Amino acid sequence: MRSEVPDAPPARRRRLPRGRAWATRLALGLPALGVALGASLLFAPDALANFITPKSGVSENAREIHSLYMVTLYLAAVVFVIVEGALAYSLYRFRAKRNRVAAQIHGNTRLEIGWTLAAALILVVLTVVTFIKLPSIINPPNSDASGLALSASVAQPTPPDGKKLTVCIQARQYIWRYTYGTDCRNDAFNSKLPYSYTMMEVPEHTTVVLSIQSSDVIHSWWVPSLGGKVDAVPGYTTYTWFKALTPGLYHGQCAQLCGTNHAAMIAYVKVVTPEQYQAWLKTQQQAITTASSQVQQLRQILTSEGNLGS
Amino acid sequence: MATITEPAARPVPQITTHEVARPRQTKRWVDWVLTTDHKKIGIMYLVLTFVFFCMGGVEALMMRLQLSVPNNTLVTSEHYNELLTLHGTTMIFLFVVPVWAGFGNYFLPLMIGARDMAFPRLNALSFWLLAFGGIVFYATLFWHPPDAGWWSYPPLSEALYSPQNGQDAWIFLIHITGISSIVGAINFYVTIVNMRAPGMSWNRLPLFIWGMLVYSILLIIALPVVAAAVTMLLTDRHFGTHFFDPTAHGSPVLWQHLFWFFGHPEVYIMILPGFGVISEVIPVFSRKPIFGYKAIAAATAVIAFLATLVWAHHMFASPVPVVVLGFFMLSSFLIGVPTGVKIFNWIATLWRGSIVMTTSLYFAVGFIAIFTIGGITGIFLAIFPVDWQLNDTYFVVAHFHYVLMGGAVFTVFSAIYYWFPKMTGRLLSESVGKLSFWLMFVGFNMTFFVQHALGLSGMPRRIYTYQPGMGWSTYNLISTIGSFILGIGVLVTILNVARSLRVGTIAGPDPWKGNTLEWFTPSPPPVNNFDEIPRVRSVEPMRDIRRQVERETGVTQRTGGSERFARSG
């Protein structure tokens, strides 16, 4: 607690600079914050690569979202600098110490209409940019020539030439199951399609359409490098797509609270060449067939011994 | 701070209020329990909600500690889900919404020149319902707290996946505090519409009162919807209905629509009274009239209207048609315009003012600086393709803490420093207050700014732990350290209040040269508030009174000693 005797001259002389210090610090604090942020961006090491931009670069939808984000970011930066700058300047310039008499202004209709329109204009620009970019985000493109050779199918959504690789995602507490093949949607468990858990393997340069369902609570499919997230809601089928342009292993995670083990519901997408994919698919199919026949045999043995009800 | 124990010249010689005191016949605590005085109820609201604020804060710090390093085992995943549910529910239903009912109760009648609220007994009822709801909710600590989140999406919140009774306690919390808020809202609405001082037409209504008016209207619109939704959830859980059960043709998306139809107006319910406080504090300490009174009042009303049309922007990743997404993007953009207009008007009010740097103004300005960032990130999230990347990540956590913690809570602190002298008769220590502000401001930005980066690096919300090597560890550690600085900042204000209650400088009726009628009464005001209610001739009735006194006495007043904060002479 500071001195309780403000009218004593020595105390006042001592306090004046301190008072100024408080005010200046607020006035300087905001620009300093901005400078610090800017500096940390310039000198950001690789570990901090996604400091102010989202992950992207692997699939076109993620790239388009990234570029839409960047447009917004530039506009936002301008607004941020103007607003925070005006705020900091007025605190610095119009403190009672510098400006003893306040101007008694009640308003300025033209100015107010002006900034209302300016704010609206920025939003109109953003709206237009969004709707220009939207088709390339929600509509899948054709696979590249170097991608997997595919046949046409009719399920939604579909690239212009109708050719795509469909992977059905079945979300459940707390694991992702992937079924590979066009017909997976209606009959994921009964058809003899290859499947895998947690790690999805897909060919590069190929348009992969994901058909997403949940068998218990709401989950959300999200691999940041491959585009935005889509909820897996029980009772609904949702779709998204990606077309990975570079091979690699991409990390993703369930984005909607789904229960105790939500944090462990991790997904990986492994992008490989079409040849590797087909080889993997064959191995996977074989492993599944072998495992099922073993289960079949085991079931027969158990049933014949009376250890398993039919 | 000042030697003035009573202002040299009383600011308003006409104050002729007398305490109407009956000889005490009951014990002091019985007085508080049975009171229907809006000021006592207001203080009880503020104390109770601050207790909940501290509990919610401790929950937040526990979560931050758990996330400070990867693979931490301080809190189990079950407890973490309980903590995030308790934290969200507490802060929204037991702190930010009712804290405005607290300030509203105390100051709304004073500011419009009324002697009490329209329905004093309903007023007491709404306080005790709040207390009861909080007790029901926190009693679950002794068996099993709810863990499906404050948004409680079914099927996770259905009996199959959350069989514990904690979820039912959550439902009853929504019901009970909902009734409390609706009763309070009707009371505020009726009071504002019917009990204004003579001459206080709608275009002379203080802007805080505009905020409280829209707060009440939005509560009346939004709360019945969530009440219906949680009732449906309750019958789903216990009485065999299937509203949200997909296995019986129910729809989990229906819950999302109902919940967010309430949930988004709720955001404005939490922030509009705060906007009102800022619109009172900034003109007073700029020594300038508010810039564009009509624009600010109109913006408040427009926000109220648009607030009911933006709910599905919480559901951009849900199964919703693209055309619907487009509509909700545009409506969310639209609501940005009046909000932006308010920020411009506040800065224009500071512009060419003669700014007195009090703690209350620090918090008000800190609010503008922080809220601007929250508003800008809100535009990112409104663009639905961008939201597909950002939704349900720490970017969203950062965004809504910028608007609700940096927004609503900073305005609450501004209001505390502004009105504490009126409520208690004593000033809070300014130097301690400024220390508290800087701790909170720095701690806040440290905690939440890096969370934008966390979200952009792919960290989803609501996970109780994470692996090393994801690029998240540094940000999380910074965030945790920041949260403790923020916590200390809050603690400093609490200590400041505790100390100033006993030893704070005597404030006098009008320490800040206020603009509104609450400063016309002694501090603290007597039970009946006013003997004589002054006639209101402008938005700033107290300023008119002060001028008239100066004209009549020929003395320019050193009123209440607010000059001491200007440090200019």
Residue A13: pLDDT band (50, 70, 90) is very low
The stretches of B357-429 forming alpha helices (DSSP H) are: 359-382, 384-390, 394-403, 410-424
Residue B540 falls in the annotated catalytic set: no
Identify the DSSP state of B95: I
Three-class SS of residue B355? Answer: strand
Residue B150 falls in the annotated catalytic set: yes
Neighbours of A281 (CB within 10 A): 18
Contacts of A95 in chain B (CB under 8 A): 354-355, 357
Residue A189: pLDDT band (50, 70, 90) is low
* Residue B53: CATH number of its domain: 1.20.210.10
- C-alpha B324/C-alpha B317 separation (Å) is 12
Cβ distance B385 to A235 less than 8 Å, yes or no, reads no
B164 falls within a domain: yes
Locate B211 and state its tokens. 């905020």
Residue with token string 């800065």: B347
- C-alpha A214/C-alpha B252 separation (Å) is 12
Three-class SS of residue B18? Answer: coil
Locate A137 and state its tokens. 């985000």
Sign of CA pseudo-dihedral A55, A59, A62, A67? positive
B99 falls within a domain: yes
Locate B289 and state its tokens. 């009239």
Average pLDDT over residues B443-457: 94
Enumerate residues 168 to 227 of chain B having a beta carbon within 8 A of any beta carbon in chain A: none
B15 falls within a domain: no
What is the crossing angle of helices B38-67 and B410-424, to 10°? Answer: 150
| Cα three-residue angle B94-B281-B185, rounded to 5 degrees | 35
B301 touching A (Cβ < 8 Å):
no
Residue B39 falls in the annotated catalytic set: no
Residue B87 falls in the annotated catalytic set: yes
Q: Which of A26, A54, A233 sits opposite B456 (nearest CB)?
A: A54
Residue B466 falls in the annotated catalytic set: no
Residue B339 falls in the annotated catalytic set: yes
Domain count, chain B: 1
Residue B161 falls in the annotated catalytic set: no
Peptide bond into B524 cis (omega under 30): yes
CA–CA distance from B345 to each of A41, A109, B292, B403, B538 (Å)? 31, 11, 6, 18, 19
B501: part of which helix (H) or strand (E)? Answer: helix B473-503
Contacts of B344 in chain A (CB under 8 A): 83, 112, 115
Neighbours of A175 (CB within 10 A): 16
- C-alpha B440/C-alpha B275 separation (Å) is 19
Residue with token string 């102010």: A52
Contacts of A116 in chain B (CB under 8 A): 295, 337, 341
Identify the DSSP state of B534: P
How long is chain B? 569
Locate B234 and state its tokens. 């309750």
Neighbours of B378 (CB within 10 A): 21
Q: Which of B318, B456, B567 sits opposite A16 (nearest CB)?
A: B567
Determine how β-strand A175-180 pairs with β-strand A165-172: antiparallel
B9 falls within a domain: no
Residues in contact with B257: Cβ distance below 8 Å, sequence separation at least 6, in sequence order? B311, B312, B315
Residue B157 falls in the annotated catalytic set: no
Question: Could you tell me if A227 and A242 are in contact, meaning their C-beta atoms sit under 8 angstroms apart?
Answer: yes
B8 falls within a domain: no
What DSSP assignment string belongs to B20-52? --PPP-S-HHHHHHH---HHHHHHHHHHHHHHH
Sign of CA pseudo-dihedral B510, B514, B520, B525? negative
Of A38-42, A63-67, B180-184, B224-228, the range with the lowest mean pLDDT is: A38-42
Residue A45: pLDDT band (50, 70, 90) is very low
Residue B210 falls in the annotated catalytic set: no
Average pLDDT over residues B518-541: 88
CA nearest neighbour of B150 among B45, B266, B61: B266
B5 falls within a domain: no
Question: Could you tell me if A252 and A222 are in contact, meaning their C-beta atoms sit under 8 angstroms apart?
Answer: yes
Contacts of B288 in chain A (CB under 8 A): 102-105
Q: Which of A2, A72, A84 sits opposite B379 (nearest CB)?
A: A72
Looking at residue A234, its pLDDT comes to 92
Residues in contact with B504: Cβ distance below 8 Å, sequence separation at least 6, in sequence order? B421, B424, B426, B427, B428, B429
pLDDT tens track for B272-315: 999 999 999 999 999 999 999 999 999 999 998 999 999 999 99
Residue with token string 């758990």: B66
pLDDT tens track for B105-160: 999 999 999 999 999 999 999 999 999 999 999 999 998 999 999 999 999 999 99
Looking at residue A187, its pLDDT comes to 61
Average pLDDT over residues A30-52: 56
pLDDT tens track for B363-395: 999 999 999 999 999 999 999 999 999 999 999
Cβ distance A22 to B357 less than 8 Å, yes or no, reads yes
A42 touching B (Cβ < 8 Å):
no
B194 falls within a domain: yes
Q: Which of A51, A94, A229 sits opposite B392 (nearest CB)?
A: A229
Three-class SS of residue B463? Answer: coil
What is the crossing angle of helices A9-42 and B359-382, to 10°? Answer: 10
**AA letter at B335:** I
Determine how β-strand A195-197 pairs with β-strand A175-180: antiparallel
Locate A297 and state its tokens. 């045999």
pLDDT tens track for B424-436: 999 999 999 999 9
Size of interface A-B (CB pairs under 8 A): 301
From the CA of B212, how many Å to the nearest CA of chain A?
A: 23
Residue B360 falls in the annotated catalytic set: no
Q: Alpha carbon B367 to chain centroid distance? A: 12
Looking at residue B411, its pLDDT comes to 97
A175 touching B (Cβ < 8 Å):
no
Enumerate residues 237 to 266 of chain B having a beta carbon within 8 A of any beta carbon in chain A: 246-247, 249-253
From the CA of A293, how many Å to the nearest CA of chain B?
A: 32
φ, ψ of residue B379 to 5 degrees: the values are -65, -40
- C-alpha B68/C-alpha B336 separation (Å) is 34
Neighbours of B149 (CB within 10 A): 19
Of A95-104, A205-214, B537-546, the range with the lowest mean pLDDT is: A95-104
B152 touching A (Cβ < 8 Å):
no
B139: part of which helix (H) or strand (E)? Answer: none
A123 touching B (Cβ < 8 Å):
yes
Q: Say if residue A269's pLDDT is above 80.
A: yes
The ipTM, to two decimals, is 0.87
pLDDT tens track for B501-524: 999 999 888 888 899 999 988 889
Q: What is the 3-state secondary structure (H, E, C) of chain A?
A: CCCCCCCCHHHHHHHHHHHHHHHHHHHHHHHHHHHHHHHHHHCCCHHHCCCCCCCCCCEHHHHHHHHHHHHHHHHHHHHHHHHHHHHHHHHHHCECCCCCCCCCCCCCHHHHHHHHHHHHHHHHHHHHHHHHHHHHHHCCCCCCCCCCCCCECCCCCCCCCCECEEEEEEEECCEEEEEECHHHHCCCCCCCCCEEECEEEEECCCCEEEEEEECCCCEEECCHHHCCCEEECCCCCEEEEECECCCEEEEEECCCCCCCCHHHCEEEEEEECHHHHHHHHHHHHHHHHHHHHHHHHHHHHHHHCCCCCC
Q: Which of B266, B280, B510, B518 is catalytic?
A: B266
Residue with token string 């940096």: B406
Buried b / exposed e across B353-364, counting CB within 10 Å, b at 16+?
Answer: bbbbbbbbbbbb
**AA letter at B211:** G
Residue A155: pLDDT band (50, 70, 90) is very low
Site from B357, B454, B562 to mutate, A interface, most A CB atoms within 10 angstroms: B357
Buried b / exposed e across B493-513, counting CB within 10 Å, b at 16+?
Answer: beebbeebeeebbbbbbbbbb
What is the crossing angle of helices B293-307 and B252-286, to 10°? Answer: 170
Looking at residue B569, its pLDDT comes to 31
Q: Exposure of A187 by Cβ count < 10 A (0-12 exposed, 13-18 middle, 19+ buried)?
A: exposed
Cβ distance B383 to A106 less than 8 Å, yes or no, reads no
B156 falls within a domain: yes
A234 touching B (Cβ < 8 Å):
yes
Question: Could you tell me if B302 and B231 are in contact, meaning their C-beta atoms sit under 8 angstroms apart?
Answer: no
Average pLDDT over residues B64-71: 95
Average pLDDT over residues A26-34: 54
Looking at residue A40, its pLDDT comes to 54
Locate B301 and state its tokens. 């009303």
Domains of chain A (ranges plus CATH)? 20-98+109-138 (no CATH), 165-304 (2.60.40.420)
Cβ distance B319 to A233 less than 8 Å, yes or no, reads yes
Q: Say if residue B71's pLDDT is above 90.
A: yes
Three-class SS of residue B487? Answer: helix
Domain limits for position B483? 34-565
Question: Could you tell me if B525 and B422 are in contact, meaning their C-beta atoms sit under 8 angstroms apart?
Answer: yes
Residue B31 falls in the annotated catalytic set: no
B512: part of which helix (H) or strand (E)? Answer: none
Contacts of A251 in chain B (CB under 8 A): 458, 470
- C-alpha B125/C-alpha B36 separation (Å) is 9
